[in-house]
Structure 1
């Protein structure tokens, strides 16, 4: 049932993008789970491209959780100073490291990930998706927040947690792990602020596209 009490078949309608983007790696260019966690924390209110630029030097100096554990905020800042809110994020990463202690202790559940500083539901969903563990939510990044209402999935919200909650109510759990990232990739590549509707694989079920000719 959707928000208006009507049945929907969104999992079938969204199959084209699920198939197009299934299992595609996240745009953050990480090499292991430790790098992913660090880069996800750094990417908040910043671009994946910017985080990718600074990652190589950062991970040369801080190759694992243990190296962050024995470091400090002042030592970390020079390597992330081009990241938005770098001071706050440096303190988050040091605290995460001191909490986890070792790479093998990185948690992979929503409850334990969101208990860490700087990791909210969106970040936890990304980490869990990339780690291929069962989904406990749906990724709702800036692209999903823009695209999901546009195609007619949900009403428009600016808050990612509200978007996620609405999506979880109308989409079956079996597609939770992939659908958020699929919508995000659609938003990055096709359903941009100026959308390329003519090449969109789901334009036939999209409310925005239906209304273009009216």
Structure 2
């Protein structure tokens, strides 16, 4: 496989979206690391908007990790019943809460986070970015999986871990923390399933758009 990024200076080419989205908070409307952890787990295969809708009542009832650790599944599930796969996620979150107990003990590194039930690399990368920890990977959500191959940075794949690995090979580590979320925001706002190419800051660098221009 040819490595993408060898003939392009992606750090330079991606500057427009890095500048536009640098430091922009994740769409999950969390207030602290405990809420972020819970909401990231709940958001898997669900929308950020749906998780934001159920969060106020959830955190009013369970304001701390300690309070969550003291409840049972029967009490907890009604607060997340509108979340996809809520029964499974309830089990994961109660296990996490019982094992960690306190917010200050939430691990803020890749190995510690991915050791927790329901947390893969994508979720861990979101938590590390939002808590301003050193990047150990690149956020690769469904928007990044769609957009990064269109731009031409990576080969198309539905496997987020494979896409992340290619991104890490193509991009310098100093932009890892921000670039995943920047591509994600681009995908949410402009590079939709039906993209608005004329509005895109990267259309002069994007393989997809340049191919359209040749037709």
**Shared fold, TM over 0.5:** yes
Query: CA offsets per residue over residues 34-77 of structure 1, 9 Å max, x none?
Result: 00000000000000000000000000000110011111111110
Q: CA RMSD in A?
A: 1.0
Give unmatched runs, 5+ long, in structure 1: none
Q: How does 1:90-129 map to 2 (within 5 A)?
A: 90-129=90-129
Structure-to-structure mapping, 1:128-139, within 5 angstroms: 128-139=128-139
Q: Say if 1:141 and 1:64 are closer, same or farther in 2 by CA, change over 3 A.
A: same
Residues 153-203 of structure 1: per-residue CA shift (max 9 Å, x gap)? 111000100000000001000000000000000000000011111110111
1:8 counterpart SS class: coil
> In structure 2, what is the equivalent of residue 50 of structure 1?
50
Mapping for residues 140-179 of structure 1, pairs under 5 Å: 140-179=140-179
Which secondary structure state, in structure 1, belongs to the residue aligned with residue 193 of structure 2?
Answer: coil
1:5 is displaced (CA, Å) by 8.2
Q: Distance in 1 between matches of 2:113 and 2:141?
A: 17
Report the count of equivalent residues: 213
How high is the TM-score relative to the length of structure 2? 0.97
What is the CA–CA distance in structure 2 between the aligned matches of 1:126 and 1:179, rounded to whole Å?
Answer: 12
Instruction: Decide whether aligned partners of structure 1 residues 5 and 201 sit closer, same or farther in structure 2, where only a CA change above 3 A counts.
Output: closer
